[in-house]
Structure 1
Amino acid sequence: MSKGVIKKALGALVALGILALLVLLSIQSINEDLRISKSDMGMSNDLSYKEKRAASTSRMSAVRIVSMTSDGSGMSSMSGTYVTVMGRYYVLTVMHGIAGPCELTKIIVEDVYYDCIKYITVDSLHDYAIMEVEKIFSRHPISIILDTPLIQSSSGRHSSVLANVYYTGFPNAMGPFTVRGHIMGYDAFGSKNIYILSYAWMGASGSGVFNEDAKLIGYVIALDVGKTEDGVQVLENVVMVGSSKNINWSPLFKEFYE
């Protein structure tokens, strides 16, 4: 094969890659407009476009999950984020909320129950779980390829201290409630956990946390706890967030090829 033919082939591949990237960016823009239009009702007119986009992405991807123990003696309620890749649908939530098998775990959206198809990942180290679910027509899933740190730089700019963040969850089995806060800092060991000044309560665990670029930067894990003269006190305005950089999405891509 001559050098000229090779150059032409490489040029064609580059052109196809650029075209594919432009198509993805166009789809992302359309998806963002759809999210905003669907959740615009009731949202403050004082919000900037970026704030509205982040809040809309949060609201339109938020789901509630209930999980029952095998013997029916207990049940947990938590929040989650509806995501998609390769035409299949999943929910990201916290591992500590999974009480029983997939068949006893349901996703609730506007009083409609959707089935858990199977657990894909249950990670105790980083406290997250990913389950495959049915398509939820009243929610707009975020794209794992476009809306997560999968294609972001490792500079950490999307998680800067004092940057605004947004999440939507179901604290105390109520909601969806959308909350704004800002990043306070990180744990002593690097980027495993992010701490935000916001509000959370039981049931908000698993909520996806978004920055002002509407990118998923983490998921609510727990509230901080501090010691006082009277004992231990829950600090409900200091929220511990698991970093999305620690989520291993590769099993979802493997599912596509199986």
Structure 2
Amino acid sequence: MKKKKTGALKRKMLFGMLLILIPVLGVVTLLFWQTRSALKEEYIRTAHHDLREVSRNVDEKVDEVYAMSDVYAGTDEFEDYAETIYSKRSSSYKKGAIVRIHEQILEPLDRLNRREKLSAMYTWRGELLNFRDPNQDTEETKHELEKMQVNDPANLMQLIWYPARENFLLSDKPKDIHEKMAVFASRRVFSREHNRYEYVQIFALNEGVFYDLYKDKAKALRGEIYTIDGEGNVISSSDEEILKEGKIPERLFEKVQDSSTKVLEIGRNKKSYLVDIKNQKSMTGELLWLFLRHK
């Protein structure tokens, strides 16, 4: 009889404890999710703010290239060099011309050496003057420019930007991926005197120039930042593997395109990620900044 009473008492005590614990656990769970939600919202606000700052910094660098392109396009001395047929002369003659362009045009236009300089010029005669590395003067180099269609008549005199790719203007490839990759831009220059497009400006900015604008933010936010064009091609990224591949994963790009919100959650490699999106249309075309963080 006593055992039955003892068992009943224990059950009552256990039931009483559960009545107390269940509401407490409910409150704790609610507080946990509220706190988690508040932290998530704060994190999203911080990411949005940082992406806006990154986009402004990138725009400033792009505007700098536009400004220098205008200056070079208005410098008539380039036309004299564009008229020369270097393939019929010695290699030392062309290298001498490159040295003179550096000393007489490029350096005087930027004496403080703070702005992006012209990397090369590709003349209407099919001649390449490589200012970054005169030794990288090969048919393969010119073939890469042709593949990019830098002299496409449809480009008119627009400055055309290209996704990040290995910098084929350099003969010695840097080991650092951000120095090895480059973001190219080209612009055809019209000559009123000769009534034709005289040459194409070639800018090759180290991808690291853009990466340096946001790498500290990516580390502070413990995530990855991607700058992509309207087709998902990578312009710059803190994710070195994606930078090498040159394109973000197709599934991620599809979700970004289909998303009507600035934030979305995705699954990738069996993990959940929070994606913050900054969309912008600029003179370079449509650009998107993505911030990807493992939840």
The TM tier, using the shorter chain, reads under 0.3
Give 1 or 2 for the bigger CA radius of gyration.
2
Calculate the TM-score normalised by the size of structure 2.
0.25
Going by fraction, where is strand more abundant, 1 or 2? Answer: 1
Q: How does the TM-score come out when normalised to structure 1? A: 0.28
Structure having the higher helix fraction is 2
Instruction: Report which structure shows greater RCO (CA 8 Å, sep ≥6).
Output: 1
